[in-house]
Chain A
Amino acid sequence: MATDISQDVTVGEINKYDFITPSHDVFKAQKGLNPEIVAQISEMKQEPAWMRDFRLESLKIFESKPMPKWGGDIGIDFQDIYYYLKPADHQGKTWDDVPQEIKDTFDKLGIPEAEKKYLAGVKAQFESEVVYGSLQEDLGNKGVIFTDTDTAVREHPDLLREYFGKIIPPTDNKFAALNSAVWSGGSFIYVPPGVHIDFPLQAYFRINAEQMGQFERTLIIVDEGASVHYVEGCTAPMYTTESLHSAVVEVIVKKNGRARYTTIQNWANNIYNLVTKRAVAYQDSLMEWIDGNLGSHLTMKYPAVYMMEPGARGEILSIAFSSKGQHQDAGAKVVHCAPHTKSRIISKSISKNGGRSSYRGLCKVEKGATDCKSNVVCDALILDSASRSDTYPYIEVEEQDVQIEHEASVSRIGEEQLFYLMSRGLSEAEASSMIVSGFIEPLIKELPMEYAVEMNRLIELQMEGSVG
């Protein structure tokens, strides 16, 4: 049973999503980063002065901050990137307003299938700006706001300003500062008290211009006793030069609220994916992050939940799949700031064909946060001897009366498991693929149906030709 680990399957396996739609930009900013470019972005967007000043201040912070010292090597030339592109003059209000070539791209991504049910609820981002979005009427009637963040700056300035940059200030880290300076697009969601949205709100993101960074900025506010499930999926076409994706996502879940944020990202192999995601959860609320990371050259992403008041809960499910030339440095952070709070982290990683996956997680219990429970499980599956997996759990506890559990396991696909499945007529590739699907099943079953199907298909594509 020879396993050829040297063959490069990365090109074939993402072919399905590897296409480029000709770009007809109305406006194309120049490469690089300086106060003039940042001010120009703000002016293009006709932003109020406070936002322009916020951007310029953030740029200073970005310039003064060192690169992160953990994770992977970040080999980005910040002056060789476009920070803002505007693909259409205005955002399409209906599907008919959306330009044909953008529709073609959506077709290739399979978006119409997902749309059939929730057409009106779907927002999609093409390059830097949301070009299509409309809101289901009953959502509007309930007072729910679901728009792109640029629009929210204009139409909901007071609400936005109250929370924007408060959970993740620009001073948080270098990439949060960069995003704060040049952000564009992303979703803004407000769910009023007691309102439950019983279908997932969805957005597709896509980078389509070479060397263009994508810096979306998402802010979700779930008011008291309200609930929402937001789903974000990404596929990116493949380019030869490096590309940067650096998003900031802030979520506020108030008393008795529930929020679930699901992400499936399938980046091309040259993308740096450096994302800051953080939620604050108040009394008896629940925040859940479900985070699937495929592809990219380097991903550094650690969704966080800060439990601010008693009874708050945080749950993070994350999965990373790394193949040749890919490093997934992903994980989770849970911070218990109040007593009687609970958290759970389940992290699964798969490394194959020389890929590297790291779990990096923090569990912190602050002084006074008694009677807290935290359960962390991280499992790694390594498919061949060229691949690698590491675990970096950080635990900081300042209270006695707490229950912290951490389990980690690393396994290789066993020869005996393969033989067992093959003895039932499965091919070796089919058997490996089945073992991998089983490994990530706990995450898949949390996804909405069409994403579960998509995720399984992506994993199958990743697995094709990996053995044999």
Chain B
Amino acid sequence: MTETLKITNLHVSVEGKPILRGVNLTINRGETHALMGPNGSGKSTLGNVIMGHPNYEVTEGKIELNGEDISEWDATERARAGIFMAFQRPMAIPGVKMADFLRHATTNVRNPSRKEGEELIPMRQFRKELTEKMEQLRMDTEFARRYVNDGFSGGEMKRAEILQMAMLRPKFAILDETDSGLDVDAVKLASQSIAEIGGDQMGILIITHHDKLLDQNTPDFTHVMLGGKIVETGGVELAHELYTDGYDRIRASYPEAAVAEQVMAEAV
């Protein structure tokens, strides 16, 4: 049976303000989806709410993983069930080494029923695997001894996110503007890396403004979000069109969503 992440009529508010207004999206494992849309259309909100951010309130609709409603699960449970998000702005955790953090994370995700204080993956096995993945991503092994995202450059942060994804091997991954702040070469490397670590085994949702990240990860579907809704879905050609021509055609075609975009922009 194909594993599925299914979002149905999802309405989400933050501090009482509606941001998502009825999102429908089905991602099967093995598929790549691109999510595009102007700033403030709700793309990152969708990513965060799928991951289980506590500040986002689901007011209507549901998120299902293989038929089970996970809307009430916390981020820990979702991560252990195989959902991952590469953050647009990953948080620094000073004093915590990448390797220690990743060893905990990897153990928990691979052994979802693990309780605090129980055994971690054997150090030797973990080290070996981490080193392999870092070589694959052309990262210096020194990286593992640095503190999580502390003093990382933009490019280093994004590569660290991809490294985490490589170690955690999620079923479903959201990449929230993993290409932002990267130069062309870095985007290319990131794009290749995602493909190399087995992106085709996952269900991937790539949130992006550009089409470069899509070069090596050709989307099966491209969705356009406007005013808190997915208004149009197409193939990879839609991604290229939006990158080249912008969103004027979309706004003209979906006036109701364009009005909602205005209202949401003014409410901020």
| Chain A contact residues, CB within 8 Å of chain B | 1, 414-417, 419-430, 434-435, 437-442, 460, 464
**What B residues does A440 contact at CB under 8 A?**
95
- Compute how far the CA of A434 lies from the CA of B53 in the bound complex, rounded to whole angstroms: 19
**What B residues does A415 contact at CB under 8 A?**
54-55
Asked if B96 and A428 make an inter-chain contact with CB atoms under 8 angstroms apart, the answer reads no
> A1 and B91 in contact (CB under 8 A), knowing A415-B55, A423-B85, A425-B108?
no
> A419 and B96 in contact (CB under 8 A), knowing A424-B168, A425-B105, A425-B168?
no
Asked if A419 and B109 make an inter-chain contact with CB atoms under 8 angstroms apart, the answer reads no
Asked if A424 and B91 make an inter-chain contact with CB atoms under 8 angstroms apart, the answer reads no
**Chain B: CB-nearest residue to A416:** B91
Asked if A428 and B76 make an inter-chain contact with CB atoms under 8 angstroms apart, the answer reads yes
Would you mind naming 8 contact pairs between A and B with Cβ atoms under 8 Å apart?
A419-B54, A422-B75, A423-B85, A424-B168, A425-B80, A434-B104, A435-B93, A441-B95
| Residues in B203-228 with C-beta less than 8 Å from chain A | none
- Compute how far the CA of A416 lies from the CA of B53 in the bound complex, rounded to whole angstroms: 9
Nearest CB of A to B50, in Å:
10
**What A residues does B79 contact at CB under 8 A?**
422-425
- Compute how far the CA of A52 lies from the CA of B84 in the bound complex, rounded to whole angstroms: 71
**Chain A: CB-nearest residue to B79:** A425
Asked if A414 and B91 make an inter-chain contact with CB atoms under 8 angstroms apart, the answer reads yes
Nearest CB of A to B102, in Å:
8
**Chain B: CB-nearest residue to A433:** B116
| Residues in B169-198 with C-beta less than 8 Å from chain A | none
Asked if A426 and B96 make an inter-chain contact with CB atoms under 8 angstroms apart, the answer reads no
**What B residues does A434 contact at CB under 8 A?**
93, 96, 100-101, 104
**What B residues does A423 contact at CB under 8 A?**
51-52, 75, 78-79, 84-85, 87
**What B residues does A417 contact at CB under 8 A?**
91, 93
| Residues in B53-81 with C-beta less than 8 Å from chain A | 53-55, 74-76, 78-80
Nearest CB of A to B24, in Å:
24
- Compute how far the CA of A378 lies from the CA of B59 in the bound complex, rounded to whole angstroms: 43
6 nearest A-B residue pairs (beta carbon) = A438-B95, A441-B95, A425-B108, A438-B96, A424-B105, A422-B75
- Compute how far the CA of A429 lies from the CA of B76 in the bound complex, rounded to whole angstroms: 11
Residue interface mask B151-166, A partner, CB < 8 A = 1: 0000000000000100
- Compute how far the CA of A1 lies from the CA of B117 in the bound complex, rounded to whole angstroms: 22
- Compute how far the CA of A437 lies from the CA of B93 in the bound complex, rounded to whole angstroms: 10
Nearest CB of B to A321, in Å:
15
Residue in A429, A430, A437, A464 whose CB lies within 8 Å of B95: A437
Residue in A422, A430, A435, A438 whose CB lies within 8 Å of B116: A430
Total residue contacts A-B, CB cutoff 8 A: 88
Asked if A424 and B109 make an inter-chain contact with CB atoms under 8 angstroms apart, the answer reads yes
- Which of A427, A437, A440, A441 has the largest count of B CB atoms less than 10 A from its CB? A427
**Chain A: CB-nearest residue to B92:** A417
Asked if B90 and A420 make an inter-chain contact with CB atoms under 8 angstroms apart, the answer reads yes
Asked if A419 and B93 make an inter-chain contact with CB atoms under 8 angstroms apart, the answer reads no
- Compute how far the CA of A437 lies from the CA of B94 in the bound complex, rounded to whole angstroms: 9
**What A residues does B85 contact at CB under 8 A?**
423
- Which of A422, A434, A437 has the largest count of B CB atoms less than 10 A from its CB? A422
Contact of B147 with A by CB under 8 A = yes
18 more CB-based (< 8 A) A-B contacts, given A419-B75, A438-B95, A441-B147: A414-B91, A419-B53, A420-B90, A422-B75, A423-B85, A424-B105, A424-B108, A424-B168, A425-B104, A425-B105, A425-B109, A425-B168, A426-B104, A428-B74, A434-B93, A434-B104, A438-B93, A460-B117
- Compute how far the CA of A415 lies from the CA of B76 in the bound complex, rounded to whole angstroms: 14
**What A residues does B101 contact at CB under 8 A?**
421, 424, 434
**Chain B: CB-nearest residue to A422:** B75
Asked if B87 and A420 make an inter-chain contact with CB atoms under 8 angstroms apart, the answer reads yes
- Compute how far the CA of A429 lies from the CA of B114 in the bound complex, rounded to whole angstroms: 13
Nearest CB of B to A462, in Å:
14
Nearest CB of A to B58, in Å:
15
> A426 and B91 in contact (CB under 8 A), knowing A1-B54, A441-B96?
no
- Compute how far the CA of A424 lies from the CA of B96 in the bound complex, rounded to whole angstroms: 14
Residue in B52, B53, B76 whose CB lies within 8 Å of A427: B76
Asked if A1 and B96 make an inter-chain contact with CB atoms under 8 angstroms apart, the answer reads no
**What A residues does B93 contact at CB under 8 A?**
417, 420-421, 434-435, 438
- Compute how far the CA of A423 lies from the CA of B81 in the bound complex, rounded to whole angstroms: 11
